[in-house]
Amino acid sequence: MPNGLDEQSMEETGGDHREISVAEFFEKNKHLLGFENAQKSIITVVKEAVDNSLDACEEDEILPEIQVLIDEYDDKKCRVEIRDNAIGLDRETIPKVFGKLLYGSKFHKLQQSRGQQGIGISASAMYAQLTTGEPVTVYSKQEGEPCHKFVVRIDTEKNEPEIIEDEVIDSDSDEFPGDQDYYFDHGTTIEMQIEAKYTKGHHSIRNYLKHTAIMNPYARVVLREPDGNKIEYPRVSKELPEKPKEIKPHLHGVELGVVLRMVDNSDARTVSSFLQNEFTRVGRTSAENICEEAEIDEGRRPNTLSKDEVEQLLKAAENVKLQSPPTDCLSPIGEDLVLKGLKKELNPEFSTAITRKPTVYKGNPFQVEVGIAYGGDIEDEGSYEELRYANKVPLLYKKSACVTTKAIEEVSWNRYNVSQTGNRPQGPVYILVHIASVWVPFTSEGKEAIANYDPIRKEMKLALQEAGRKLGRYIGRKERKEIQEKKKRKLTSYAKEMAPAIAELAEEGDVDDLENRIQKMVEADYNPEQL
Amino acid sequence: MPNGLDEQSMEETGGDHREISVAEFFEKNKHLLGFENAQKSIITVVKEAVDNSLDACEEDEILPEIQVLIDEYDDKKCRVEIRDNAIGLDRETIPKVFGKLLYGSKFHKLQQSRGQQGIGISASAMYAQLTTGEPVTVYSKQEGEPCHKFVVRIDTEKNEPEIIEDEVIDSDSDEFPGDQDYYFDHGTTIEMQIEAKYTKGHHSIRNYLKHTAIMNPYARVVLREPDGNKIEYPRVSKELPEKPKEIKPHLHGVELGVVLRMVDNSDARTVSSFLQNEFTRVGRTSAENICEEAEIDEGRRPNTLSKDEVEQLLKAAENVKLQSPPTDCLSPIGEDLVLKGLKKELNPEFSTAITRKPTVYKGNPFQVEVGIAYGGDIEDEGSYEELRYANKVPLLYKKSACVTTKAIEEVSWNRYNVSQTGNRPQGPVYILVHIASVWVPFTSEGKEAIANYDPIRKEMKLALQEAGRKLGRYIGRKERKEIQEKKKRKLTSYAKEMAPAIAELAEEGDVDDLENRIQKMVEADYNPEQL
């Protein structure tokens, strides 16, 4: 032992220090990922799988077909099967995607997607293993290729997959699970057994899928509940949203430590080309201006830059005007699809949608969409209902901690003919708020609420006010119309009593006076006795 | 390539799947760890370092001496130095403790400690590196040993430490940083440079240290602020709380997946000895009963058990009565120290403390302590002030999401002569709530709020009611006394006017009547004109 440390003091001082695998960490902290209890956990598992399926379909521009099949067995256990028609996963990737936490294709990209962490689906598999001891089974088929079946466990202490089965099966045969109705020529099917409680209330798979259907009206989703009941969320649009593009980071939102790493890893020959190649919106002139402002020779090799020089470059960049990052990395669904989604699932008498222009927060582009649905089949249950989305994924929990709720509560709904209790709008109204971003600042790994950042809340408020004004005009017109209708109805109902009186007056030939009298009668709420 | 996949389709389908290091993950998600902004980040850094120092001192039964030295430099940057008198870290451990996330000695133990994740201090070092590009410097000295100096970076992409300097220095010389006042013969000193904003309001290092001082009255902490101002939080007790012991998991709170792993790793020869050795509160008889109930031969080797058999064992254990886990794994500070802490930092006119008996949640022992301080130097600022603690660590953020606040709001403070606005007590009152547990269910890695679990909230409510009754009696007595005092004061103030009237009456010799009249006068609130 160096420095005279003996076994004894090793033991006392640092001998029990150990590495903690990220799988062990999240197994013990599973509540951070949405696995607090049996009721919530099954929603989390379905959500992670469906989110991945939708991402995969959109990535390959396939109209999504998703089946969610739930069976109960034993006491408090469910078998969950989720099947999609995406192009399937390649053989090499499958074990790690399902058997290793922090593994994925989305984390390192600046591009809008539902998943962003590489945790969700492998954590679901870990939860299955933890609660029922059962590994995850994955079937994945690419078009014209054989179907691969994998059975995978997670070695929690190492955070590495353990392959239990790896075989090619005939997807036309009985080996392929579930109803043949659900057969697709390409796609992925996942089977997990988990401790679960299947419920039908506000926090339920039904509600999660209903919310998903509203925001993804180009998807067809079928749910088979444990009692065999099938619910279809139909496709109402064959139009996929524009596929988002990957972008590079923007100099105005990047941290020094990250740039230092980029400098180390760069194979650019000059500082100028480093700036142009690694960042968005830096052209030759901007690069030159930054170097000049920083007093650094633009022709130097990036890896000769000291820390202080890199810091100078970043400071200089703050003083050089750069265009905002491009926003084709975003994929909002647009006002038309928001309206279609609201109409098909809620059947309201009035609906409106606003898609704001993209804007930027700390170098990250984001975009807000808002929809309001009012009346019709929507029942008045006192408080409004909220539909919260981040990158098209519904958020069902932690409403009061979410920036969407704070934005809604900042709007003066009274002005828009909507009554309020405290800050909350009341009545038969659904308010939808969607943020599309390359990086949504969730308040936890469970992705349940969005942090209350000023620029995001402000955008949401502006969108809500715009939509609110439209709702206000509609309710105003409706209320005026209702008053007129009421008048008409009353007039009609008094017709019988009024008829003789009017006839009498008419006989007297006092027609001018008659008109006046009828007007008075109408103003006096049609009390014929006042005639 | 297997199955006819060529490079092209690899690229399209899974070629960009990558491992994400836990350091990269938390660098991008640093808000989850308390690094949302420059103001909060410096508090987080100090908190993580001070928590570690206190844990280390208590582990080795040393009365803690901690120095927190803050200097501002450049624009929005601080140099933070934290020094303790614990026994120091051994050489081998230092680089990983500061240069690798998810590394530590506390995660795998069931024992109360401030740290529990192995993330806090290395994440602070990562934040320093990200925002200023500077590595962390650590000096650590064990008694009678040389002082080791390490300068360590984190290789974020690998989550591994990179040692930049590793040398032995003379701790008596100028090489050792800071004032010689702060020299200890053993201990650890950490230096970091971070992007920071030093503030003095509610969310500040001052307030964090004040709260820490209340709950750790056996520690002496000195803060040197950037302007050179020194604040001392003195030690008022030389009595360390009982050192917590490590316990084994309890069969009634353990998950199937964890037991399957334990079975795999166990070198016990029989199921019976496996149950007795690996779990708390399982003796020979309990082990036999469990095996009998599960219909499993107690003499079998554990690693011959199938998953279903392990599940049977766990189910059987639910039906066998087992003692609750031992509670010497907990280290509450006790009613006396809670009182000392409240008195020294708040100087109230009344204070009370309650330490509840330990209880168990999902196999995890926990214990609640509550304190109330009222009046005296505490100003009435409308609403009450809350002092929230988990394992002696103050919680400054996310109050409204915390179980402590929910428990306080469930108590009817009106009953205890404390006015309320809504559910919140009002007036010059501090309410302290502390949970000591081997595993505190925080709502995020940042450890800012405790999840609202029923058994925890109920214990807190009971303790608050008990303390509330004492406060209520005090306020009741005080109010009665005040009424009497008021009467006395009035009587005295009227003495001059009353004197001649009384004299006159006395001269008349009507003494019996006089007594009656004075009594009437007093009852009539001393209006001498009524005589």
pLDDT in tens, B80-107: 999 999 999 989 999 999 999 999 988 8
Residue B11, pLDDT > 60, answer no
State which H helix or E strand residue B452 sits in: none
The candidate with the shortest Cα–Cα distance to B202, out of B381, B73, B69, is B381
Does one domain contain both B43 and B171? yes
The reported pLDDT for the residue numbered B415 is 95
**Given an 8 Å threshold on Cβ–Cβ distance, is B311 in contact with A133?**
yes
Write the single-letter amino acid at B202: H
Does one domain contain both B305 and B344? no
Q: Which chain B residue's Cα is nearest to A6?
A: B90
* pLDDT beneath 50, residues of chain A: 1-14, 526-531
Rounded to the nearest angstrom, the minimum Cα separation between A436 and chain B is 18
**Given an 8 Å threshold on Cβ–Cβ distance, is A105 in contact with B25?**
no
Q: pLDDT tens across A74-122, in order?
A: 989 999 999 999 999 989 999 999 999 999 988 888 888 998 888 999 9
- The average pLDDT across B358-385 equals 92
Does one domain contain both B193 and B262? no
The reported pLDDT for the residue numbered B531 is 39
Angle B365-B366-B368 from CA coordinates, rounded to 5°:
160
Residue B17 lies in a domain: no
- The average pLDDT across B421-426 equals 92
The reported pLDDT for the residue numbered B36 is 87
Write the single-letter amino acid at A232: E
> pLDDT band at B340, cuts 50/70/90?
very high
Does one domain contain both A75 and A198? yes
Does one domain contain both A504 and A371? no
- The average pLDDT across B324-342 equals 92
Q: Which chain A residue's Cα is nearest to B117?
A: A25
Residue B373, pLDDT > 90, answer yes
Residue B499 lies in a domain: yes
CA–CA separation, B88 vs B189, rounded Å?
A: 9
> pLDDT band at B10, cuts 50/70/90?
very low
**Given an 8 Å threshold on Cβ–Cβ distance, is A255 in contact with B14?**
no
**Given an 8 Å threshold on Cβ–Cβ distance, is A17 in contact with B103?**
yes
Residue B240 lies in a domain: no
Q: Which residues of B touch A131 (CB under 8 A)?
A: 255-257
Average pLDDT, chain B: 88
The candidate with the shortest Cα–Cα distance to B117, out of B390, B299, B495, B403, is B390
Question: Could you write out the three-class secondary structure of B437-448?
Answer: ECCCCECCCCCC
Give first-to-last CA distance, chain B, whole Å: 114
Q: Which of B233, B260, B291 is a domain's end point?
A: B233
Provide the total of helices (H) and of strands (E) in chain B, helices listed first: 14, 18
CA–CA separation, A479 vs A394, rounded Å?
A: 33
Residue B108, pLDDT > 50, answer yes
CA–CA separation, B241 vs B238, rounded Å?
A: 10
CA–CA separation, A196 vs B212, rounded Å?
A: 41
Cβ(B355)–Cβ(B466) below 8 Å: no
Does one domain contain both A173 and A209? yes
A to B CB pairs, distance under 8 Å: 188
What's the domain count of chain A? 4
The candidate with the shortest Cα–Cα distance to A250, out of A282, A215, A223, A208, is A282
The reported pLDDT for the residue numbered A511 is 55
Cβ(A434)–Cβ(A379) below 8 Å: no
Q: 């920083």: which residue's tokens? A: A294
Give the three-class secondary structure for A355: strand
Cβ(B374)–Cβ(B348) below 8 Å: yes
Domain of B310 in residue numbering reads as 251-319
> pLDDT band at B12, cuts 50/70/90?
very low
**Pairing outcome for strands B230-233 and B220-224:** antiparallel
Q: Which residues of B touch A25 (CB under 8 A)?
A: 102, 107, 117
- Tell me the two tokens of residue A448: 């349940």
CB-CB: which of B31, B107, B168 is closest to A451? B31
Chain B interface, mutation test: which of A8, A19, A399, most B Cβ atoms within 10 Å? A19
Does one domain contain both B90 and B229? yes
Does one domain contain both B495 and B374? no
Pairwise pLDDT comparison (B167 vs A180), residue with the higher score: B167
Does one domain contain both B221 and B197? yes
Q: Which residues of B touch A14 (CB under 8 A)?
A: 89-90, 92-93, 97, 105
Q: Which residues of B touch A133 (CB under 8 A)?
A: 256-257, 260, 307, 310-311
Residue A372 lies in a domain: yes
Give the three-class secondary structure for B13: helix
**Given an 8 Å threshold on Cβ–Cβ distance, is B257 in contact with A148?**
no
The reported pLDDT for the residue numbered A7 is 37
**Pairing outcome for strands B364-374 and B350-355:** antiparallel
CA–CA separation, A161 vs A101, rounded Å?
A: 9
Residue A347 lies in a domain: yes
Q: Which chain B residue's Cα is nearest to A400?
A: B401
Report how far apart, in Å, the C-alpha atoms of A179 and of each of A81, A83, A221, B294 are: 11, 11, 15, 37
Which CATH number do you get for residue B407? 3.30.230.10
Out of A57-71, B217-231, B478-492, B505-519, pick the least confident. Answer: B505-519
Which CATH number do you get for residue A198? 3.30.565.10
Rounded to the nearest angstrom, the minimum Cα separation between B305 and chain A is 13
Rounded to the nearest angstrom, the minimum Cα separation between B521 and chain A is 52
Q: How many CB atoms lie within 10 A of CB A222?
A: 18
Chain A interface, mutation test: which of B255, B362, B454, most A Cβ atoms within 10 Å? B255
Indicate the pTM of the whole model.
0.86
Residue B529, pLDDT > 50, answer no
The reported pLDDT for the residue numbered B502 is 62
Cβ(A481)–Cβ(A489) below 8 Å: no
**Given an 8 Å threshold on Cβ–Cβ distance, is B129 in contact with A257?**
yes
The candidate with the shortest Cα–Cα distance to B365, out of B248, B218, B258, B200, is B248
Does one domain contain both B305 and B160? no
Rounded to the nearest angstrom, the minimum Cα separation between B142 and chain A is 9
Does one domain contain both B171 and B31? yes
Share of chain A residues as helix, strand and coil, in percent rounded to the nearest 5: 40, 20, 35
CA–CA separation, B191 vs B124, rounded Å?
A: 11
CA–CA separation, A31 vs B210, rounded Å?
A: 31
Write the single-letter amino acid at B458: K
Residue B205, pLDDT > 70, answer yes
Q: Which residues of A touch B36 (CB under 8 A)?
A: 451
CB-CB: which of B17, B29, B31 is closest to A97? B17
Cβ(A413)–Cβ(A319) below 8 Å: no
Does one domain contain both B501 and B430? no
Question: Could you write out the three-class secondary structure of B221-288?
Answer: EEEECCCCCEEEECCCCCCCCCCCCCECCCHHHCCHHHHHHHHHHCCCCCHHHHHHHHCCCCCHHHHH
Q: Which residues of B touch A91 (CB under 8 A)?
A: 2-3, 5
Residue B239 lies in a domain: no
